A = this chain, B = another copy of it.
Amino acid sequence: MPVEITREYIDQVEEAIEQQNAEFLTSSMADMYPADITTVLYELDTAQSKYVLDLLDPEVGAEILSGLDADVRTNFLKSFTSEEVARYVNLMDSDDAVDILNEQKVQSREEIISFLDNEEKAADIIDLLHYEEDSAGGLMAKELIKVNVNWEVRQCIEEIRRQAEAVEQVYAIYVVDDRDRLIGRIAMKTLILSNDDTPISELFDEDVISIETYRKDTEVVDIMQRYDLEAIPVVDSQGKLMGRITIDDVVDVIQEQAETSIQLMSGITEDVEEDDSVLRLSRARLPWLLVAMVGGLLGAEFIQIFDSEIMLVPAMAGFIPIITATGGNVGIQSSSLIIQTLASKQIIFDNLTQRLFKVLLVALINALIISSLVMGFNLMFNDNPRLSIVVSIALFSVVMLSSLMGTITPMILDRFGINPAVAAGPFITTANDLLGLGVYFFVAHLLLHL
């Protein structure tokens, strides 16, 4: 069973490393899952982690390395020679091996490949390195079980025996013709329930969904989710079977997508985590802060045009925050909804006018409620009825305009192939701040000087 890693255990591990007590480390980790050992390594420094990894069974080490975060891994592997890395890469599934090689500089990548003593694996890896990382080809592994349509069940079982060690989880057996083109699949349970001399041609299911190597990883996710697939075979443009993608890789893509959206929405430009360096964290956060700063300075210059009006009615200044905040919030709500729609692709036909009409209707309801409530409050507690009217008209317009802008901006970005989530963050709030200020002072200028 999975174990709970305790503070005490980490302390013991650190002590054992210091005393070079290999005995304690190997025996206490012998029954642990690689994922649990990884948790321990995250608490150690690089040198300590390497000491532990070197003591472990290389198979376990390979699995630990496969499971590390890319950033952590790149850093960690800097303390390894190319030969050491190759020893682990030898033992990995080809897709994990390629991920690691892609993280290395070109020179050490070549070096590691030259040290690979499993020739079949090396050939697979070199082949996989040709594909874009975010394509189906970049996600796939070469390990799969394929059988010729002219075989019988007996040969098929022989092939499984031959591949049994390389292919950890056999989801399905792929059937190819003499030219290696994918023509169908057989489920393991069909095979197990058939006689040894049944021809594959009588058993296999022609209905197999495949995907071409050049497709984007997001398309892979969409198709696997849509058709509820636990694995999908990957083919080249001639229909030749090239590899397969399993659902665990897709889960990683889904989580990355979600994390990217959330980071874009919160105005963080690099893929960072809390335990990154202070400088990296600052750098990831600065760009949007600077954009917002420029927006804020523009706003300040704009407001200064109305200095004389503010001097006459200083209470005007008080309502600046409610105007900008409402614009920002409405804008983010609107863009987040449209981004969700754009991502789900459930709606296949766009009826733009109808959609915008609905957006405006929703905005109208909230605009009326917010502006009436604020009007009521101001008439009761503030003694400038004309300013109260100005504030409510401005709020009303800001809600309407921000809804529209929050809806249209992501659609335009999406059309140009930019991740629309970028529009749900500081970009929309900064733009809406300026929009709100413009509306507010324009209305004030018109009404306060009647």
The interface-forming segment of A21-29, A48-56, A132-140, A422-430 is A422-430
The interface-forming segment of A103-111, A112-120, A122-130, A367-375 is A367-375
Q: In this assembly, does A326 line the interface, its C-beta being within 8 Å of a C-beta of chain B? A: yes
A residues 254-274 in Cβ contact with B at 8 Å: 254-255, 257-259, 261-263, 265-268, 272-274
Q: Are B39 and A348 in contact (CB under 8 A)?
A: yes
Q: Are A430 and B325 in contact (CB under 8 A)?
A: yes
Q: Are A2 and B320 in contact (CB under 8 A)?
A: no
Q: In this assembly, does A5 line the interface, its C-beta being within 8 Å of a C-beta of chain B? A: yes
Partner of A285, one of B261, B333, B433: B333
Contact status of A329 and B292, CB under 8 A, knowing A262-B261, A299-B318, A321-B300? yes
Q: In this assembly, does A177 line the interface, its C-beta being within 8 Å of a C-beta of chain B? A: no
Partner of A321, one of B5, B348, B361, B437: B437
Task: Categorize the interface residue count of chain A.
Answer: 35 or more
Q: In this assembly, does A80 line the interface, its C-beta being within 8 Å of a C-beta of chain B? A: no
Q: Are B337 and A322 in contact (CB under 8 A)?
A: no
Q: Are B315 and A317 in contact (CB under 8 A)?
A: no
List the B side residues contacting A324 at CB < 8 Å.
321, 324-325
Partner of A365, one of B279, B303, B355, B373: B279
Q: Are B193 and A170 in contact (CB under 8 A)?
A: no
Q: Are B341 and A273 in contact (CB under 8 A)?
A: yes
Q: In this assembly, does A17 line the interface, its C-beta being within 8 Å of a C-beta of chain B? A: no
Shortest distance between the CB of A318 and any CB in chain B (Å): 4
Q: In this assembly, does A30 line the interface, its C-beta being within 8 Å of a C-beta of chain B? A: no
Q: Could you list 5 examples of A-B contacts with CB < 8 Å?
A: A170-B188, A255-B258, A261-B262, A265-B266, A320-B321
